[in-house]
Amino acid sequence: MNIPDLPVNPGLGSMFAKAGFATLLTLLSCRAVDYLALSGAMKRGLTHPLDSKGWWLGELAWLGLLGLFELVTGTWLFSTVCVVVLMGALAIASRVKEGVLREPLEFTDFILITNIIKHPAFYLDAVPRPLFGAAFLVIIGLVGFIIWQSTTALTPRFVGACEMVVGFGILWGCLRHTTIMGRNDFTRHTPPQVVTAHVQRHGMLATLLGHSLRWMEPRPASTPDPLNLSLGQEALPDLLLIVQGESWAEPDQIFTGLPQTPVPLPALNRIRSEPSTWWGDLVPSGFGAYTMRTEHGVLFGLADSQLAHRAFDPYMTAAEDIACALPNRLARYYRQRLFIHPHDLRFYNRDHLMPKAGFNGLVGPKAFQGAKSCGPYVSDKALGLDIMRRLEGYNPAAGRLYIHAVTMENHGPWQAGRAGAATALDAWLMHVRHSDDLLGELDQALEAQALRGHSGMLVFFGDHRPAFKECAPGRSPATRTTPWLIKRYPPSNDAHPDQTVSKQNVTLTPAALHKVILEALLRTTTARASEAAQ
């Protein structure tokens, strides 16, 4: 008996061939593009051994993205081009960022888009003008090309929908359940310095998706340890002044090996040499940027390990941790709590966050209208005059005064000609000296208040180092340090809380500095209470 031939759709094989070729080409191209993003890190030896299991996360992410473009455009190869161009743009952006800030692109960077639109000079000056122009033309051309090349074909859209569901669906399962992969970096606490390893293991797109998924997971609100300064609280400093210096670092420490004249910071060196001063190196988690990480660490006292994936931009979720904020914890003892920053307080949502954190007074750019600037921003001199005016007007009857100030003068980008400086480096050095002048003036102002019977405590620290190529390469803590110091008025000879002598350089994270500030206040009250008991 003859068996009749089954009908074969000649277009079916062609469809699978096109879909398979587009998929293979996409996966291989995206893997190559990811290595472009990592090439800068590879040159500095910052990459990690390959993990074949982790590769599948990248492939699944790219497959899902390819399916999305096929669903939108109804084409095969053009969808591949769209995916590769998009991943290439991300790779270039990541390479530029990694070259300047030593971190690849992260999911929180996309939140900055609104800030980039409002304040382009803050961010785009780090991007070479030809590269920025080329990227803009590519985006416009790609959008137009997508519209032109899109078809009404249903078959590619059906296949694309299947690829998108399979790719993103399995990826989501792998990211949510570690047993599927046997190991999953995204379940661990992820300090910003190890993102490069994740990109190498899993690909950039899978890393972005994995970190954002972990970031969205619910987390119980942080609760601080009980703070009881009641014992001897009458001995608390009347004036608590905490100043965060923008891009404040020691030139002789970060530009080692350069043939240049040493840049002295006389106020810093003088105060550190005093026996009662606590001082050392601060280790911010970021280099060249990320003011909000240091600011959050000092204000809220939460380490990167506690924040996990929220550490990339802790202010995005800081409202969950307001109970830990220093002004809230000190509200019982400091009736006047001011946050002073001579720039747009909408940055990092400070205008809404700081009142929730416990500040009952915000001083923003309106208070500095007409004030002296140095370069494009309000000068440290003007900020210092505002602070000293408030110290001069201190009235004990109004309650103790806590001022938390964030300087702005030394914010980048630095360029030749800024405030008359010959080079970009000269501009930064000039601003650093001005910050040192501010430190000296505040020290003298608090000493004068102490002579009037108003005790005080000064905390001064840098938020991060400047993003200069001349800075030492690498990502070790030693390449990110900035100075910190604590001085009390009148002076006290209490030992450092870590039981180290005050002249020894003590290295702290911003979260640890938060605890040291509280320890300094606590030691003041207990020491004075002990004296009174005797």
Q: What is the secondary structure of 247-282 as a DSSP string? A: T---HHHHSTT-SS-----HHHHHHHHSTT-EEEEE
Separation CA 282–CA 298 (nearest Å): 11
Evaluate whether 492 touches 278 at the Cβ level (below 8 Å): no
pLDDT tens column, 377-404: 999 999 999 999 999 999 999 999 999 9
**Facing residues of 181 across strands?**
none
Is pTM beyond 0.95 here?
no
Mean pLDDT score, 321-336: 94
Which pLDDT does position 6 carry in this prediction? 40
Check if CATH label 3.40.720.10 holds for domain 237-533. yes
pLDDT tens column, 48-99: 544 555 667 778 888 899 899 888 888 888 888 888 888 888 888 888 887 7
Mean pLDDT score, 505-515: 93
Q: Phi then psi for 416, rounded to 5 degrees?
A: -60, 135
Q: How confident is the model at residue 278 (pLDDT cuts 50, 70, 90)?
A: very high
Evaluate whether 159 touches 73 at the Cβ level (below 8 Å): no
| Structure-model confidence comparison of residues 286 and 512, the more confident one | 512
| Structure-model confidence comparison of residues 403 and 133, the more confident one | 403
Evaluate whether 181 touches 156 at the Cβ level (below 8 Å): no
Separation CA 517–CA 298 (nearest Å): 9
Which pLDDT does position 21 carry in this prediction? 78
Which pLDDT does position 8 carry in this prediction? 43
Residue type, 162: C
| Structure-model confidence comparison of residues 182 and 211, the more confident one | 211
pLDDT for 514 beyond 50? yes
Q: Phi then psi for 239, rounded to 5 degrees?
A: -125, 115
pLDDT for 2 beyond 50? no
Mean pLDDT score, 307-321: 88
Mean pLDDT score, 480-506: 70
pLDDT tens column, 402-461: 999 999 999 988 889 999 999 888 899 999 999 999 999 999 999 999 999 999 999 999
pLDDT tens column, 175-202: 776 544 444 556 655 666 677 777 777 7
Which pLDDT does position 5 carry in this prediction? 44
Which pLDDT does position 532 carry in this prediction? 37
Which pLDDT does position 17 carry in this prediction? 77
Angle at 294 between CA 290 and CA 300, to 5 degrees: 130
Question: What are the start-end ranges of the H helices in 75-183?
Answer: 77-101, 113-118, 120-124, 129-149, 155-176, 178-181
pLDDT tens column, 213-239: 888 877 777 777 777 665 556 678 999
| Structure-model confidence comparison of residues 143 and 43, the more confident one | 143
* 3-class secondary-structure state, position 384: helix
92-99's contacts with Cβ under 8 Å and 24+ in sequence apart are: 92/36, 92/37, 92/131, 92/135, 93/135, 94/37, 94/199, 94/204, 95/36, 95/37, 95/39, 95/40, 96/126, 96/127, 96/128, 96/131, 98/37, 98/40, 98/41, 98/196, 99/40
Residue type, 299: L
Separation CA 58–CA 207 (nearest Å): 8
Query: What is the signed CA dihedral for 88, 91, 92, 96, rounded to 10 degrees?
Result: 180
Residue that is written with structure tokens 């809380």 in the block: 497
Which pLDDT does position 264 carry in this prediction? 82
Which pLDDT does position 299 carry in this prediction? 97
pLDDT tens column, 13-32: 666 677 777 788 888 887 77
Which pLDDT does position 151 carry in this prediction? 75
Separation CA 150–CA 41 (nearest Å): 38
Query: What is the signed CA dihedral for 50, 477, 291, 362, rounded to 10 degrees?
Result: 140
| Structure-model confidence comparison of residues 359 and 104, the more confident one | 359
Which pLDDT does position 83 carry in this prediction? 86
pLDDT tens column, 251-273: 888 776 555 556 789 999 999 99
Residue spans per domain, the chain = 14-216, 237-533
CB atoms within 10 A of CB 496: 20
Separation CA 288–CA 178 (nearest Å): 34
